[in-house]
Chains A and B, each alone.
Chain A
């Protein structure tokens, strides 16, 4: 089945620095990828929809200047957390859809393995 690779799996950074998270679709092309965030004991919340070759679409309440998304190719989207602060510490997960899939129970949507960001 479709595989989405996310890197790094875990990162610790100092407050004020920037962190880049990569999401790659292996063996399929994804014109659209999705970035989610999950705080402890809370649900995954969609942050933004990443569109290849164009600007990302951000959900209400998500600062686009703080969470920079680049989807420069059909297999790679990156999320950069700029000037990270402790309150940005969270579990970030990307998702992509393999549009070749027709009969998959989840319509071809696959999640990356997640990145646990800790800002100290």
Chain B
């Protein structure tokens, strides 16, 4: 079983739409959780950490449910520049485990 599972998409949405991504992880002892953004042929860049209390950064809201080992990312008012692959990432001590990513295409 994969450490982190994500719907690969792609999600094709119009500008201004709200879109939600989900992710599940297998190791209940995992310590930290993140969403990274990866543009084509580039390294992943940290978008935001994810906490059980939920956290928001502008148009982005992330949520963690430890009981069900589920992580979500909500993007409101999508922009063209949000088009990218979003990686769900879980840290267990020194090791980071990446989901295969969910591709988002925001159309004009």
Contact = CB atoms under 8 A, between A and B. Distances in A.
Given A106-B34, A107-B32, A107-B91, A42 B100 contact: yes
B73 to A, nearest CB: 14
Interface of B: 4, 8, 32, 34, 41-46, 48-49, 87, 91, 94-101
A44 interface: yes
Interface of A: 32, 34, 36, 41-46, 49, 91, 93, 95, 97, 105-107, 109, 111-114, 116
Given A42-B100, A44-B98, A49-B94, A93 B43 contact: yes
30 contacts: A32-B94, A36-B98, A41-B8, A42-B100, A43-B4, A43-B98, A43-B99, A43-B100, A43-B101, A44-B44, A44-B96, A45-B98, A46-B95, A49-B94, A93-B43, A93-B44, A97-B94, A105-B34, A105-B48, A105-B49, A106-B46, A106-B49, A107-B32, A107-B91, A109-B96, A111-B44, A113-B42, A113-B43, A114-B43, A116-B41
A26 to B, nearest CB: 15
Nearest to B97: A46
Given A41-B8, A43-B98, A43-B100, A105 B46 contact: yes
Contacts of A32: 94
A4 to B, nearest CB: 9
A105 B89 CA distance: 13
Nearest to A45: B98
Contacts of A111: 43-45
Given A113-B42, A114-B42, A46 B96 contact: yes
Contacts of B48: 105
A43 B43 CA distance: 12
Task: Please provide the 4 A-B residue pairs with the shortest distance between their CB atoms, ordered closest to farther.
Answer: A43-B100, A105-B49, A43-B98, A44-B98
Nearest to A39: B100
A99 to B, nearest CB: 11
